[in-house]
């Protein structure tokens, strides 16, 4: 699989990246997509290996991130899907794009709402992941407080509109949605120069 010039230009148009940056990200993609199965596609194990330095082990959040990258829902991440998703994490991507992406991450069951059970499930997963203990009482208190703040119509679930307002009030929630590295990918992956098709 190679990336043709027309593909690079199209991906640059569809994202926050320049053609050279798309080329540089292709170097990263090639590395990730051949780490376990050398087929030019990122499998979940390969993403897990890159993020956790181990190819095995369940992680709720990794599953959600992988699902959101995998636009075609065919169980692998193709290069264009990789570019589309990473573009959301670009420092210049809009706050709205980041807010929407975060909503989709947290909407575990993809019902169009972030439900109380989902928030509880995510908090419990982190407690388990980090070996932290929290009493059920305290957990309920934290979720109650969060919903009192976010769920303005008090229907027990957070809608897209409620989420927008909530994130506006708590912008630090989008901290993970920006990767400063993405402003500098051509420097981070200078080897793209050997394969470049264009000069930006």
Partner 1 sequence: KFFNAFEFISSMSSGFDLSSLFESK
- Binding part of the chain for partner 1, among 4-12, 15-23, 61-69, 192-200 by CB under 8 A, reads 61-69
Of 89-128, binders to partner 1 (CB under 8 A) are 89, 102, 105-106, 119, 122-123, 125-126
Q: Closer CB to partner 1, residue 9 or residue 35?
A: 35
Interior/surface letters 2-26, b for 16+ CB within 10 angstroms, e for the rest: ebeeebbeebbeebbbebbbbbbbb
CA pair distance 108, 114, nearest whole angstrom: 8
**C-alpha to C-alpha distance for 85 and 105, rounded to whole angstroms:** 12
CB 55 within 8 A of CB 121: no
Between residues 12 and 119, which has the closer beta carbon with respect to partner 1?
Answer: 119
DSSP secondary structure of 49-62: HHHHS-S----HHH
Cα radius of gyration (the chain) = 19
Residue with Cβ nearer partner 1 (130 or 135)? 130
Q: Which two tokens stand for residue 6?
A: 């027309």
Asked if 153 touches partner 1 (CB under 8 A), the answer is no
Q: Of 5, 13, 14, 31, which lies in the binding site for partner 1, with binding defined by CB under 8 A?
A: 31
Backbone angles phi, psi at 91, to 5 degrees: -55, -25
Q: Compare residues 19 and 65 and give the one whose CB is closer to partner 1.
A: 65
Q: Considering beta carbons, is residue 34 or 122 the nearer one to partner 1?
A: 122
Which residues are paired to 115 by β-bridges?
157
Residues that bind partner 1 (CB under 8 A): 28, 31-32, 50-53, 59-65, 86, 89, 102, 105-106, 119, 122-123, 125-126, 129-130, 142-143, 145-146, 149-150, 166, 170, 172-176, 179, 181, 188-189
């Amino acid at each position: 699989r190679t990336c043709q010039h027309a593909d690079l230009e199209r991906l640059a148009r569809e994202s926050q990246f320049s053609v050279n940056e798309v080329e540089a990200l292709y170097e990263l993609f090639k590395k990730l997509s051949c780490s376990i199965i050398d087929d030019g596609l990122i499998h979940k194990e390969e993403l897990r290996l890159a993020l956790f330095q181990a190819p095995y082990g369940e992680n709720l959040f990794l599953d959600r991130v992988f699902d959101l990258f995998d636009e075609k829902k065919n169980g692998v991440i193709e290069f264009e899907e990789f570019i589309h998703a990473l573009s959301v994490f670009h420092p210049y991507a809009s706050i709205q794009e980041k807010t929407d992406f975060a909503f989709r991450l947290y909407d575990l069951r993809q019902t169009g709402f972030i439900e109380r059970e989902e928030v509880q499930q995510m908090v419990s997963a982190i407690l388990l992941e980090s070996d932290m203990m929290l009493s059920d009482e305290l957990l309920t208190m934290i979720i109650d407080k969060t919903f009192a703040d976010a769920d303005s119509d008090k229907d027990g679930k957070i809608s897209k509109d409620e989420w927008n307002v909530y994130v506006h009030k708590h912008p630090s929630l989008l901290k993970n949605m920006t990767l400063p590295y993405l402003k500098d990918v051509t420097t981070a992956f200078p080897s793209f120069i050997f394969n470049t098709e264009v000069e930006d």
